[in-house]
């Protein structure tokens, strides 16, 4: 069996090839493609039995139907989120789809904290100043985290890991999650409704999935409920935030800081070098003009431990499919979507 890997960067090649050679030598051969999967590049998968895709690959009904026509029966997502695949189309085509639900949640949680503290203590600005021999600390004033209220939206694996770390800073913790019960969270803080969380938190950190009901969870109305000057951190999915609304909230000082690892229109830009081009996304460019906005290119997961885990689970999922074993990470299997109701995907 040949596995076509799309959006393959040097690190994807390295970790997938190493794990394949060490743990799954007889499972498949791997064809890496630097291109993202789309209706323009899908023909590269011809002759393969399975496709491996990442967060900004296109897996809409059209692409899935073409892949199915090539005889491909397995789609392996080497990521946790699955808002970018049309699971209903995969179901009707009888495709097997699996993801990597948990690869070092601590990697993402630690990055959320890194963003928070960089923005809060302005170390990104200090770094540039000091390199130019400017040791003036005017404008670098931050706030002590100890005793501040942090609101965690989405108390799954990453949200809980983030709560544990903020707890270590001595923060007061609030969380909102429609599924998790308060017993699980009691040792760290209190479960509250979203409105209370927004009103009371100095820092709001988003860790829920992107679904129909969470798209633009942060919008004009919810921003108006936030504590004035609060910081918003998003390491989850860009679509959770209505970007135009946060720009307005930054302009009016309602929002005191915004730290993003994800952006709702990131698909066109992220993971590629556009430094020699004119970037046409005016919303993103406006966002980047604020001194109190910190933006990274979807790298919260990016640790060597997480990449090893991603490669290992991706190939284990393929191994389960090939051996016709039940796969604990399947999202669509034997013609049925098996996603829990609270994780219903956004339809493309
Ligand atoms: P998870 O499934 O373990 O937890 C998600 C939690 O969100 C669940 O407890 C669920 O009940 C809750 N939730 C659902 N709807 C909600 C709502 N409306 N309000 C509040 N909570 C809600 O997922 P996880 O592993 O913790 O990952 C969280 C998200 O992080 C993923 O969906 C993914 O999009 C994102 N992620 C980002 C990166 C990155 O590199 N930036 C890496 C991995 C995952």
Domain that holds residue 135: 105-295
Are residue 43 and residue 161 in the same domain, yes or no? no
pLDDT tens readout for residues 80-92: 889 899 999 999 9
Map 230-292 to HEC letters: EEEEECCCHHHECHHHHHHHHHCCCEEEEEECCCCCHHHCCCCCCCCCCCCCHHHHHHCCCCC
Q: Is 342 part of any domain?
A: no
Task: Return the pLDDT at 339.
Answer: 66
Over residues 218-235, the mean pLDDT reads 98
Task: Return the pLDDT at 199.
Answer: 98
Are residue 259 and residue 327 in the same domain, yes or no? no
Are residue 128 and residue 227 in the same domain, yes or no? yes
User: Is residue 343 scored above 60 in pLDDT?
Assistant: no
Phi, psi of 245 (to 5 degrees): -70, -40
Are residue 97 and residue 144 in the same domain, yes or no? no
Hey, which bits of the chain come out as E strands?
Answer: 2-5, 29-32, 50-53, 74-77, 96-98, 149-153, 172-176, 189-191, 203-206, 230-234, 255-260, 293-295, 330-333, 336-337
Are residue 222 and residue 150 in the same domain, yes or no? yes
Q: Is 42 part of any domain?
A: yes
Report the alpha-carbon distance of residue 74 to residue 95 in Å, rounded: 6
| 300 Cβ below 6 A of ligand 1 | yes
Q: Is 77 part of any domain?
A: yes
Task: Return the pLDDT at 171.
Answer: 98
User: Is residue 329 scored above 60 in pLDDT?
Assistant: yes
Give catalytic status of residue 237 as yes or no: yes
Over residues 221-234, the mean pLDDT reads 98
When divided into structural domains, the chain yields a total of 2
pLDDT tens readout for residues 188-213: 999 999 999 999 999 999 999 999 99
| 155 Cβ below 6 A of ligand 1 | yes
Q: Is 196 part of any domain?
A: yes
Are residue 205 and residue 243 in the same domain, yes or no? yes
The token pair that represents 287 in the structure block:
């966002």
Are residue 58 and residue 186 in the same domain, yes or no? no
User: Is residue 341 scored above 70 in pLDDT?
Assistant: no
Secondary element (H or E) of residue 131: helix 123-131
Q: Is 267 part of any domain?
A: yes
In residues, how long is the chain? 348
Are residue 98 and residue 207 in the same domain, yes or no? no
Phi, psi of 317 (to 5 degrees): -60, -45
Pocket test of ligand 1: the residue of 159, 185, 193, 209 to mutate, having most ligand atoms within 8 Å of its CB, is: 209
Are residue 109 and residue 180 in the same domain, yes or no? yes
CA of 343 from ligand 1 middle (Å) equals 9
Q: What is the residue-averaged pLDDT of the chain? A: 94
Are residue 155 and residue 117 in the same domain, yes or no? yes
User: Is residue 334 scored above 80 in pLDDT?
Assistant: no
What CATH number is attached to the domain comprising 260? Answer: 3.40.50.720
Q: What is the ipTM of this complex?
A: 0.99
Over residues 29-41, the mean pLDDT reads 97
**How many Å from the N-terminal Cα to the C-terminal Cα in the chain?**
29
Catalytic residue among 266, 309, 334, 347: 266
pLDDT tens readout for residues 260-311: 999 999 988 999 999 999 999 999 999 999 999 999 999 999 999 999 999 9
């Amino acid at each position: 069996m040949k596995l076509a890997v799309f959006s393959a960067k040097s690190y994807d090649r390295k970790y997938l090839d190493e794990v394949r050679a060490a743990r799954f030598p007889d499972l498949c051969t791997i064809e890496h493609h630097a291109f993202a999967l789309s209706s323009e590049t899908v023909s590269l998968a011809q002759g393969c039995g399975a496709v491996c895709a990442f967060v900004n690959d296109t897996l809409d009904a059209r692409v899935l139907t073409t892949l199915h026509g090539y005889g491909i029966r397995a789609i392996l997502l080497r990521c946790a989120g699955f808002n970018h695949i049309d699971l209903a189309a995969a179901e009707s085509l009888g495709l097997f789809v699996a993801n990597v639900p948990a690869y070092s949640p601590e990697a993402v949680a630690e990055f959320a904290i890194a963003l928070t503290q960089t923005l809060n203590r302005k170390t990104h600005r200090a770094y540039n100043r000091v390199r130019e021999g400017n040791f003036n600390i005017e404008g670098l004033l931050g706030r002590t985290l100890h005793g501040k209220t942090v609101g965690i939206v989405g108390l799954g694996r990453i949200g809980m890991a983030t709560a544990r770390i903020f707890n270590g800073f001595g923060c007061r913790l609030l969380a909102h999650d429609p599924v998790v019960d308060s017993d699980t969270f009691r040792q760290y803080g209190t479960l509250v409704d979203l409105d209370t969380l927004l009103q009371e938190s100095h820092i709001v950190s988003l860790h829920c999935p992107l679904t129909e009901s969470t798209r633009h969870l942060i919008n004009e109305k919810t921003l108006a409920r936030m504590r004035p000057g609060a910081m918003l951190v998003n390491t989850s999915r860009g679509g959770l935030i209505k970007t135009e609304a946060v720009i307005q909230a930054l302009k009016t000082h309602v929002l005191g800081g915004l730290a993003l690892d994800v952006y709702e229109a990131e698909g066109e830009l992220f993971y590629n070098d556009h430094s020699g081009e004119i970037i046409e996304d005016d919303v993103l460019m406006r966002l980047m003009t604020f001194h109190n906005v910190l933006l990274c290119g979807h790298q919260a997961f990016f640790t060597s431990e997480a990449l090893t885990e991603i490669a290992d689970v991706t190939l284990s999922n393929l191994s389960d499919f090939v051996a016709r074993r039940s796969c604990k990470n399947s999202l669509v299997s034997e013609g049925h979507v098996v996603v829990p109701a609270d994780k219903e995907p956004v339809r493309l």
